[in-house]
Amino acid sequence: MRQETTGCKSTKRRRRSSSSDAKPVRMTRYSPLRHPFAPQKVFSEDEINNIHNTALRVLQELGLKILLPQARKIFAAAGARVVDQLVFIGSDMVQAALQSAPASIRLRAANPVREQVYEEGAMLFSAGSGCPNANDLIRGRRAGSLRDYEEALKLVQSFDVIHKLGPCVEPQDIPIHLRHYEMMRAQLEFSDKPMFVYARGSAQVLESFELIQRALNLSDEAFKNGVWATTIINTNSPRMLDRPMAQGIIDFARAGQMSIITPFCLAGAMAPITVAGALTLQHAEALAGITLAQLARKGAPVSYGGFSSNVDMKSGAPAFGTPEHVKMQLGGGQLARHISLPWRAATGAASNVPDMQAANETQMAMWGALMANATLTVHAAGWLEGGLTFGYEKFINDVEVLQMLAELCVKPQGNDAEIGFEALADVEPGGHFFATQHTMDRYKNAFYTPLVSDLGNFGTWQEGGAKTSTQRASVVWQQVLADFKRPPTGAEAAACVQSFIAERKAAGGAPPMD
């Protein structure tokens, strides 16, 4: 399947032998997934037009402050009016970008089985990301370390309902100018899913790309023609794009890699207090990012994104899984379909511990993303404290929900065999179906098998130690980590990049862009 065979020649032989068993270790059916429900609306078509057109007006009349000179030059060269750092983007430029942005993007992976098609109707999940801290019942809350990052990668790799990688925990024990080396090496070593690269300036981004190329034996051409890396671009709402983010859009576009433009619009703080107002700002900023990507390289893979929610008006703290968050997801989905692009949403939780609040917030926004038919739902497992902590027990409980949602993608059948009139006739009134042929033929695979849920009665549960699902989840993740085996490509991919990383480290690393 893979035709790219240049580079890292020393490992070619091993590579070939491992590709024959290049299947995920855990064989379940949660990938790829297609949305089982029709997208729902909160706005009328007129209202969506109004929001879209107002967003265009924002770009044209109010402009966007773009801190990176190179990005302003790209806009100016395309005919945009630039006044100091303000860029006024005309609707024609946006429309052209929406014409050239691809509606379907193939996300490549070290293991072809892990590849995904990123397009309308696809349903992808990625784990809680960008967390500076980690938390679990055994070791408590702590600043994120490389060990935590690697453990999170192993957890993500172990559940096929998580479809792509994200920077779950920030490995703060690795200096920032060396961090990308370890993050790329760890992804390559412990996973074979579509990868994530932070947009922290060209030096780190281009080195990260090179690491992927080397590890996966990709020629320049092969790399550029496939999406091997994605990044998240957060705008600085309102109406600002900082230097590393603008640079990231340009670098990813030119390298043929995917940036997901995601304004983080908190209604009542950095965005207008209304759902429509926050979405207008989200839409304007996302359109600006998409336009920059298309100006940097026409046809570049780029995704619409939205992570709009509200703040708590008492404390100013961000809130997630609120009714307003859900409404913004639904409106965001309408806007993405309005411009015919796939899009990313996010779930989330403000809760500080893996409790009922955490579960309810996350699942509420998860259903919002489902009802909005988000292509990718980020932070789908493990997010706590509004993203300040990656919670291990929370991750396991969230994966349970994701697996149940994935089960909903398989529709039941309503034919005669499934209905089983004969089984109904076989069983006396008041009897049971345990022993009917209809049951015997199906009982092994009829129902979803829970990951962490305890379905036993109170007595059995008490005898088992009266553990909460948080406590049971602690046992689950420890077992998953203990059982973890590197993917078939892992050892080789990591070995492949070892000398390059050592060389770059010796040369002083690559500081992030300010």
Specify the residue, 217 or 308, whose C-beta has the smaller distance to its own copies.
308
How many Cα neighbours within 13 Å face the side chain of 492?
22
- Closest approach, Cβ 499 to its own copies, in A, equals 41
- Binds its own copies (CB under 8 A): choice among 108, 180, 438, 504: 438
Q: How far apart are CA 350 and CA 411, in angstroms?
A: 33
Neighbours of 463 (CB within 10 A): 9
Query: According to CB under 8 A, which residues from 211 to 270 bind its own copies?
Result: 236, 238-240, 267-270
Specify the residue, 424 or 502, whose C-beta has the smaller distance to its own copies.
424
DSSP label at residue 145:
-
- Closest approach, Cβ 88 to its own copies, in A, equals 12
3-state secondary structure of 266: strand
Query: According to CB under 8 A, which residues from 447 to 476 bind its own copies?
Result: 447-448, 452-458, 460-462, 466, 468-470, 473
Contact stretch for its own copies (CB under 8 A) within 11-19, 164-172, 416-424, 491-499:
416-424
Query: According to CB under 8 A, which residues from 334 to 373 bind its own copies?
Result: 350-361, 363-364, 367, 371
- Is there a contact between 483 and 477 (Cβ–Cβ < 8 Å)? no
User: Who's near 447: CB < 8 A, 6+ residues apart?
Assistant: none
Compute CA distances 120 → 270, 289, 407, 476, whole Å: 29, 19, 19, 34
Q: How far apart are CA 276 and CA 478, in angstroms?
A: 44
Residue 411 binds its own copies (CB under 8 A): yes
Is the dihedral angle over the CA atoms 478, 483, 489, 494 positive or is it negative?
positive
- Using CB under 8 A, count the residues that bind its own copies: 124
Do the bridges between strand 116-119 and strand 104-107 make them parallel or antiparallel, or are there none, so unpaired?
antiparallel
Q: How far apart are CA 275 and CA 259, in angstroms?
A: 25
Q: Check whether the bond before 238 is cis (ω within 30° of 0).
A: yes
How many Cα neighbours within 13 Å face the side chain of 300?
30
- Closest approach, Cβ 472 to its own copies, in A, equals 8
Residue 140 binds its own copies (CB under 8 A): no
- Closest approach, Cβ 339 to its own copies, in A, equals 16
Q: How far apart are CA 206 and CA 243, in angstroms?
A: 16
Query: According to CB under 8 A, which residues from 38 to 97 bind its own copies?
Result: 38, 40, 42-44, 46-48, 50-51, 54, 57-58, 61-62, 64-65, 86
Residue 25 binds its own copies (CB under 8 A): no
Query: According to CB under 8 A, which residues from 284 to 313 bind its own copies?
Result: 310, 312-313
Query: According to CB under 8 A, which residues from 157 to 216 bind its own copies?
Result: none
Q: Which of 320, 279, 245, 301 is nearest to 513 (CA)?
A: 245
Residue 277 binds its own copies (CB under 8 A): yes
- Closest approach, Cβ 436 to its own copies, in A, equals 8
Specify the residue, 42 or 232, whose C-beta has the smaller distance to its own copies.
42
Residue 443 binds its own copies (CB under 8 A): yes
- Closest approach, Cβ 76 to its own copies, in A, equals 18
- Binds its own copies (CB under 8 A): choice among 158, 204, 322, 375: 322
Q: Which of 76, 77, 102 is nearest to 257 (CA)?
A: 102
Specify the residue, 77 or 447, whose C-beta has the smaller distance to its own copies.
447
